[in-house]
Amino acid sequence: MIRVIVTGFGGKMGQAICTAIASRATEFTVAAGVDPYFEGASCNIPVYKSINDVKEEADAVIDFSRPEALHELLPYCREKGLFAIIGTTGLTDDDRAFLDSYALSVPVFNSGNMSLGVNLQLQLVKKAALTFGLGFEPEIVEKHHHLKVDAPSGTALMLADAISSQYPEDVKYMYGRYTRTERRKNAELGIHSVRGGTIVGEHECYFIGTDEVLEINHRAYSKQIFAQGALRAALFMQDKQPGLYSMQDIVMENDVLSNLYATDNQAIIMVKGMSGKAALREVFSKLAEVGIFVDMISVAKYDEVSFTVKSSKLYAACSQIEKLVDIMPDIRVYALDEITKITVEGIGMEFRHGIAAQIFEVMAEAGVEILMVTTSETKVSMAIENKSAQAALKALADNLDL
């Protein structure tokens, strides 16, 4: 049973949270409410003006109030050992910095939109942006009820950030185009807000190309989808360590790690004593001259680089680099043969912290020495000795459910 303090208790989302909790009484209970403006009946639930006045025992705080509430809420969570579910939108940069600082000591779940559908939409728009590039011009239209105070919505900004993250160049956000009398620039993303009636929330993403348009849209018909999303977040956050979590962690919960594979017949080459601003170019140009492909490039110091090549290309690669001695007299080449590259991959790694530490812990407990590591947002590759490959693969598969 998760005991919840609901802040913004008297608001529409606060009441939606209470309704959702009542429908799941075997899993949740409302310990108390917090709302400085609440004057109505609370159905035997104690409601306080300030969270610091709450006397009831609790496990979590769910907050859909105002950004300024964070400054009492998060210190309270740290003092009482609670985790926090923050669904409040309109956070400033200072608010986010405050939230980030408390996430070092408090498990904090923060999302501008608690809907699983919207968070899947985030993944779909990233895929579209990556596939199309700026050849398809992106635009976002968000629609909400006339009581919403922030514009554009936090979800629209989440979508914009997801789209722009896939482009190689900076993209300028254009919040409407009133008074603009110039053509649309290539590297811009239009964001438009509509307010009226009782629209719960609609987010339309357009990728507009020549003679075709792709739309990726989401429509919310009830605030209960956000309330149920917040409760799902609360279940997810049980026993989590301090840190900042989001709906993307839930969307990717079962796909954090999806692939494990090995590439054998590899060799590591270490080049030391390089000199000159063009040293890296010279080294890799020499290898390209004879058609040698390299992998796992790692630069530790300005004058050192390590990388892997196929074992069959080891002698040729070393010979090519040694030809640079005329322009880099201190250059030295070292090699390790009989290497296997082990790769752990998963799109969820982009959103879940601690995965690399978990991988290295498994390798250490299996007694596998890692000779070299390279990473990306969704991949960790490790070079190890051939003799350790089977032990490494078994340990990773058994411990990471791969």
Q: Say whether 361 sits in a helix, a strand or coil.
A: helix
The predicted-structure confidence for 100-143, as pLDDT tens digits, reads as follows 999 999 999 998 888 889 988 998 999 999 999 999 999 999 99
Q: What percent of the chain has pLDDT over 90?
A: 75
Does the pLDDT at position 301 exceed 90?
no
Query: What type of residue sits at position 31?
Result: A
Summarize the confidence of residues 72-95 as an average pLDDT.
93
* Confidence class for position 257, pLDDT limits 50, 70, 90: confident
Give the amino acid at 341: K
Please write the tens of the pLDDT for every residue from 315-324: 999 999 999 9
The per-residue pLDDT for 249 is: 80
pLDDT at 378: 81
**Highest mean pLDDT out of 32-41, 52-61, 246-255, 297-306:** 52-61
CATH number of 116-220: 3.30.360.10
Q: What is the CA radius of gyration of the chain?
A: 26
How much helix, strand and coil, in percent to the nearest 5, is found in the chain? 35, 30, 35
**pLDDT tens for residues 148-186?**
988 999 899 999 999 999 998 899 999 998 888 889 988
In the predicted structure, residue 40 carries a pLDDT above the cut 80: no
Mean pLDDT over all residues of the chain? 92
Instruction: Provide mean pLDDT across the span 337-344.
Output: 95
Active site residue: 143, 144, 218, 341, which one?
Answer: 144
Query: Where do you find CATH 3.40.50.720 in the chain?
Result: 2-110+225-250
The fold of 2-110+225-250 is Rossmann fold (3.40.50)
Write the burial class of residue 36 (CB in 10 Å: 0-12 exposed, 13-18 middle, 19+ buried).
middle
Whether the pLDDT of residue 41 is over 70: the answer is no
- Distance, CA of 163 to CA of 173 (rounded, Å): 11
Kindly indicate the confidence band of residue 294, based on its pLDDT and cuts at 50, 70 and 90: very high
pLDDT above 90: residue 234: yes
Residue 57: burial class (beta carbons within 10 Å; 0-12, 13-18, 19+) = exposed
pLDDT value for 43: 74
Is 223 a known active-site residue?
A: no
Q: At what angle do helices 116-132 and 224-237 cross, to 10 degrees?
A: 90
Beta strands 295-301 and 212-220 are unpaired
Question: Using CA atoms, how far apart are residues 245 and 86, in angstroms rounded to an integer?
Answer: 10
Every domain of the chain with CATH number 3.30.360.10 lies at 116-220
On the question of pLDDT at 58 being above 90, the answer is yes
List where CATH 3.30.2130.10 sits in the chain.
259-400
In sequence order, what are the residues at sequence separation of 6 or more whose Cβ sits closer than 8 angstroms to the Cβ of residue 206?
138, 139, 140, 141, 213, 214, 215
Burial class (CB in 10 A: 0-12, 13-18, 19+), 94: exposed
CATH superfamily membership of 259-400: VC0802-like (3.30.2130.10)
Question: Of 55, 127, 146, 148, which one is the catalytic site residue?
Answer: 148
Active site residue 341: no
d(C-alpha 347, C-alpha 10), whole Å: 39
Length of the chain: 402
**β-pairing verdict for 259-272 and 332-345:** antiparallel
For CA atoms 36, 37, 42, 44, give the dihedral sign. positive
Residue 47 CA, distance from chain mean position: 35
Residues with Cβ < 8 Å from 92, sequence gap 6 or more?
67
